[in-house]
Amino acid sequence: MTEIKDVADWWATAVSRVEPGVIELRGRPIQELIGTASFVSVIWLLLRGQPPTPAQERLLEAALVASVDHGPHAPSIAAARIAATCGVGLNNAVATGVNLLGDTHGGAGQQCVELLEEVRRRAAGGADLDAAAAGAVAAWRAHTRYVPGFGHRFHPVDPRQEPLLSLVDGAVAEGTVDGDFLRAGRAVEAVLNRGRSRRIPMNIDGCTAIIYAELGFPAPLARGLFVLGRTVGILAHAWEETGQGRRNKGPMPPAILPTYLT
């Protein structure tokens, strides 16, 4: 552990430098970024230390755009809308929604990256890709029946799947990414659908997990980046709710009473 010799060292950071008259992000003066760098490229810069290539930026932007919203039936959106009518302020309404993005709502992208990493580890150990995917799925199902990144309770086929995976296919062809995680994801999908008449397709979490992993982001950042994207939808819904002129204080209409258990 590095010895702390000065109180300022407790706050040492390579992310930003802020001094009187100076604001730098990863060594780049903010005045040079304003009007020239996109928001997505600045996200990459802050997380990775260097700006992305145009191809990397396009792929990251696609994943973020695909994640912005999934309607008021999503817990994070519903909670934000309820909070917005309770008088807590827009910032607290947004925070309420973001704070619901946990392991079972918002965490599947991170979990899917971990699953795909396990497939790659098994393949690197000598198993063919199909066997590696089958083994990783079996290990996952030993502790839960849900395989993160696959299947959807609402969409028979997630409409975001095809455009996102097509972009990854293009990025592989161009040499922007290697394609290892894309192949692992498709191998898992094949294992899940073997012998089934009703498909279990890859969903938004699986597609964006592939993108984040292909771009070199570690698994925890797959969740962090999903949160960034979904915050846009949370903000939009919370703001809309403030203008509805109603008090949406509960998860069900007032005329519907909860079942009382005796």
pLDDT at 117 over 80: yes
Residues 6+ apart with CB under 8 A from 126: none
Q: pLDDT by residue (tens digit) across 42-62? A: 999 999 999 999 999 999 999
To 5 degrees, how large is the angle CA 87–CA 91–CA 95?
100
52-249 topology per CATH:
Cytochrome p450-Terp; domain 2 (1.10.230)
Give the separation between CA 65 and CA 152, rounded to whole angstroms. Answer: 19
Q: pLDDT by residue (tens digit) across 84-102? A: 988 899 999 999 999 999 9
Q: pLDDT by residue (tens digit) across 147-189? A: 998 977 676 778 889 999 999 999 999 999 999 999 999 999 9
Q: pLDDT by residue (tens digit) across 234-243? A: 999 999 999 8
pLDDT at 11 over 60: yes
- Domain residue ranges of the chain, discontinuous segments joined by +: 52-249
Percent of the chain exceeding pLDDT 70 equals 95
Give the separation between CA 188 and CA 95, rounded to whole angstroms. Answer: 34
Residues 6+ apart with CB under 8 A from 185: 112, 116, 149, 202, 206, 207, 209, 210
The pLDDT assigned to 2 comes to 59
Residues 6+ apart with CB under 8 A from 90: 84, 235, 238, 239, 242
Give the separation between CA 220 and CA 111, rounded to whole angstroms. Answer: 9
Residues 6+ apart with CB under 8 A from 141: 147
Give the separation between CA 24 and CA 22, rounded to whole angstroms. Answer: 6
Mean pLDDT of the chain: 92
Burial of residue 32 (number of CB atoms within 10 Å: 0-12, 13-18, 19+): exposed
The pLDDT assigned to 3 comes to 64
8 A C-beta contact, residue 220 and residue 110:
yes
Inter-CA distances, 234 with 67, 72, 97, 98, Å: 11, 9, 6, 8
Q: pLDDT by residue (tens digit) across 197-233? A: 788 899 999 999 999 999 999 999 999 999 999 999 9
pLDDT grade for 104, boundaries at 50, 70 and 90: confident
What's the whole-model pTM score?
0.92
